[in-house]
Amino acid sequence: MNELIRMNPANSTNTLFNNLFRFRDWSVRRKISVGFGGLLLLMTLGLGITLLTLNNIKRTAASAIELRQPAANYFQRLSQSLNQSIALINGYLLTGEAARKAEFITVTEDIADRMEGVRQHTVFQGLQLEGIINTSQALFQQFRAYADELFELYDNNQINRGLIIANEKLNTQAIRFLTNINILLASNNIDGTDPKAAQALPLLEDLRYNWVRMMWTLSLYVNNPTQVMMENFKNFNERSIVLMEKLLRLNPDIGFGELEDMQDAYTRYQTELPGVLKIFQTDEWRADTHLLRTQVQPVTDQLQKIFEKTADQLLESAFENGQELTQTMYQTRISTIVFMTLGLLTGALLAITITRGIVPPIQRLMIAAGQVAEGDLNAEVMVTSRDEIGQLGNSFNTMTTHLRAASMKEQEMLEELQALNQGLEKRVEERTRELESSETKIRAILDNIGEGIIVIDEQGKIESMNPAAERIFSFREADAIGLNAALLIAISDDDGLSEREEYSDLTDGIFKSSDDRQPHECQGQRSDGSTFPLEFVVSTMNVDGKLLRVCILRDVTARKETEASLAEAQNQLVDAAHKSGMADMATGVLHNIGNILNSVNLSGEEIQRTAKNSKIAGLLKANDLLLQHQDNMGEFLTQDARGKKLPDYYIKMGKVLNDEIDTIKQESQELIKKTTMMKEVINTQQAYAKTGFHSEQLNLPELIEDALKIQQASLKKWGVRLTKEYADTPPCTGQKSKLLQVITNLIKNAKEAMNDNDQFNRPKELVIETGTLNNHAAYLKVKDNGCGISPDQLNKIFNHGFTTKESGHGFGLHSSANAMTEMHGSLKVDSDGVQKGACFTVTIPIEQST
């Protein structure tokens, strides 16, 4: 046969196929055998294909149920734990409860352990999650580090970084600046007659007002950083800058270094201000909020995205496997039907058996899979066998159970989000109520504030008026609205401006807008026609595109009356101080004249004693003897025992009488000298009493000599050793009588301070020194080595009423210090302590009087 095939291949092939497919020639047994065998072969093939498909379905279901579903649940639990840790951080920062911090540490350690456990757990093998786990662990380590930093900030009370920096860099300089202003305004050393000082006084008052308002506005902004608060602060700051520049350009000669200290504090404050404001403008003022927003939240958001995305991908993969399972089940059903249909052609019993064993379970599984695909997760498959289809049914039921659990958790998360949204809505409502309450408070403040406030539009018409303004002008707000604000002023001196075509009430009216915000004064007019002094300040604001002017008004009638009373009291005080000083000088003059009179009395007594005890009586007796014997004068002088003694007696008596005459001459000269001294003291006092209070050029050494004339006798009586150290001092400017009073008072005090030096066997030494300071001022120092001054008395030695003398009135040094301040000079004191002497220093300006 092989040979035949090789010889004729085509004929051989045809013969073979003809033998194989010639069915009618087959025997019945062969046909049955071939047909049944074919049926068995077909059934075996169909069963093999079905079993292979079922095996693939089993692997797919196992992958979806046993791997991806648990992994998705695992990452969902990680996401929930992360949310719990974030809530614990916020709770600790809000309440400071240590239990929340401890629970946070426990939760984060559990998260870290579970993330590390992913690497060893068999469920995650083959899911290719290594990169996700590495990224998640790195981000979680950052999250824990930031959490530790937040806890450290909270525990060290460094959360409000903006307040700490503002207190360190601004408050000290602001208080220092304000303190110097208060010292200048309260020191009473600003001479109203000095033009610069007079101009400086309102600048200082306005600067203090603006500075206080600026500090208050900044404190409001620090606690509630809004744009409105920042604008208000900038306005007050700009106003303070303008006032400070004016004050520095004016350069008044006031205070004792306070103006320079003010400038230094002002410069430091303005230097530190931009840095502090930048912290609040960039939201860095709250360290915890800034760290949460810039560091913690991005890390947690990224972790949440990774966990949720990974869980969604695993669930999506499980869902795709379910769809793949459904498709495979559908194909399995088709193939099974085909093979069963072919089987029915040859054997109904076999087909029915196969159909009953395979098709119903598969149909039930398909129906359940369809219900799950439509969203019904309560669908289950009834399992009636333990074969592969039964196992598939069990796996399907397990998958739907897990899907239901995941759906329930998702529903719980949605309910949680709804609760959070409700809480947020509640907070919004509360904030709205707070804003309404704040608006009510502001309205109440405007209604109860002492200053009148009116709002004027661009045409000068009144739009609103607070109760204080109603009281000031005796107008009701309802009657005033719509009226021109110029009706509130007694006299309108506009020179016809209101009739000009280019007239604008905003720029030309009495309440015109200006950038300086300086208070202006005019005569206000009430509704009954009465007038009163009115002070007002105008500021401009833009409300919804409409330009309005806010006028703050004040009735200054009481202030004007007070100023007049103060001026009168000041004049009376100056007159009383002058009279007191002249009285003290007169007292010193009388005291010194009394001392001189004591010397005069001693000289008179000495002359009287000399005359009373004079030997002139013996001389007269001798003369009587000569008169009695003038007829026998020669005999009497040569022979009479008494006459012989007379020549020697006359010689001796001549010497005695000459001594008596010398004594009388000496005492007479002392009387003339003392009388002349009293005359000079009185003339000096009268000359200075006539000089008045005008400033003039003074020769400081000559003035000191005049003061010493008044005190000379007293110094000599007290045994004071005087040392004068006069340097070449140029003429200085001041009031002659006042300066003499100051010098006389200082010399008298120094003399009295050395009263107890004899008890300590210490000489009484008084040193008077003069010189110049930087070619701008002359100085006078009065030093003594007396009782000294204790440290606690140095600060109050110039206070009114303070004295350490039993008979003192505490006015001398106080009036002397005020007098030097009026002359733009100063009076200071230094002492090393008790029984170590004291040094009073007077400084007087050298420049010429103007």
What is the structure's pLDDT at 788?
92
CATH of domain 449-555: 3.30.450.20
Q: In a 3-state reduction of DSSP, which class is residue 722?
A: strand
Residue 505's contacts (CB-CB under 8 Å, 6 or more residues apart) are 456, 458, 459, 460, 484, 498, 511, 512
- pLDDT over 60 at 345, yes or no: yes
Higher local confidence (pLDDT), 159 or 571: 571
Question: How many C-alpha atoms does 56 have within 13 Å on its Cβ side?
Answer: 14
**What digits encode the pLDDT tens for the residues 616-670?**
777 777 788 778 877 887 788 788 877 777 787 778 877 877 887 888 877 777 6
Above 80 in pLDDT, residue 587? no
Q: Is there a shared CATH topology between the 161-285 domain and the 695-845 domain?
A: no
- Give per-residue burial for 714-733: e unless 16+ CB within 10 Å, then b: bbeebebebeeeeeebeebb
Burial bucket for residue 806 (CB in 10 Å: 0-12, 13-18, 19+): exposed
pLDDT for residue 707 is more than 60: yes
Closest CA to 218 of 174, 284, 180: 174
**Residue 409 near residue 377, CB atoms below 8 Å:** no
pLDDT at residue number 829: 94
Token digits of residue 72: 């998705």
- Mean pLDDT lowest among 275-284, 346-355, 400-409, 463-472: 346-355
Looking at residue 160, its pLDDT comes to 54
Query: What pLDDT does 155 receive?
Result: 66
Task: Give the residue with greater pLDDT, 808 vs 310.
Answer: 310
Instruction: Say if residue 779's pLDDT is above 90.
Output: yes
User: Mean of the pLDDT values across residues 823-829?
Assistant: 91
Higher pLDDT, 105 or 353: 105
Determine the residue type at 264.
D
Of the ranges 86-100, 235-249, 444-458, which one carries the lowest mean pLDDT score? 86-100
Q: Give the contacts of 711 (CB within 8 A, at least 6 positions apart).
A: 588, 592, 744, 747, 748, 751
Whether pTM > 0.85 for this model: the answer is: no
Q: What is the pLDDT of residues 218-236, one digit of tens each?
A: 777 766 677 888 888 888 8
Q: How confident is residue 292, by pLDDT bands cut at 50, 70 and 90? A: low
- Tell me, what DSSP letter sits at residue 23? G
Strands 765-773 and 721-725: parallel
pLDDT (mean) for 564-583: 63
pLDDT over threshold 70, residue 131: yes
CATH code: domain 695-845 is 3.30.565.10
- Enumerate the domain spans of the chain: 161-285, 449-555, 563-690, 695-845
Region 701-728: what's the mean pLDDT? 86
Residue 840, pLDDT score: 96
Q: Facing residues of 781 across strands?
A: 769, 841
pLDDT band at 772 (very low <50, low <70, confident <90, very high): very high
Top-ranked range on mean pLDDT: pick from 303-312, 571-580, 800-809: 303-312
CATH 1.20.1440 fits 161-285, yes or no: yes
Length of the chain: 850
- Lowest mean pLDDT segment, chosen from 438-447, 501-510, 693-702, 785-794: 501-510
Distance of CA 682 to the CA centre of its chain: 62
End-to-end CA distance of the chain: 155
How much is the mean pLDDT over the chain?
75
Percent of the chain residues topping a pLDDT of 70: 70
Angle, CA of 500, 506 and 509, to the nearest 5° = 60
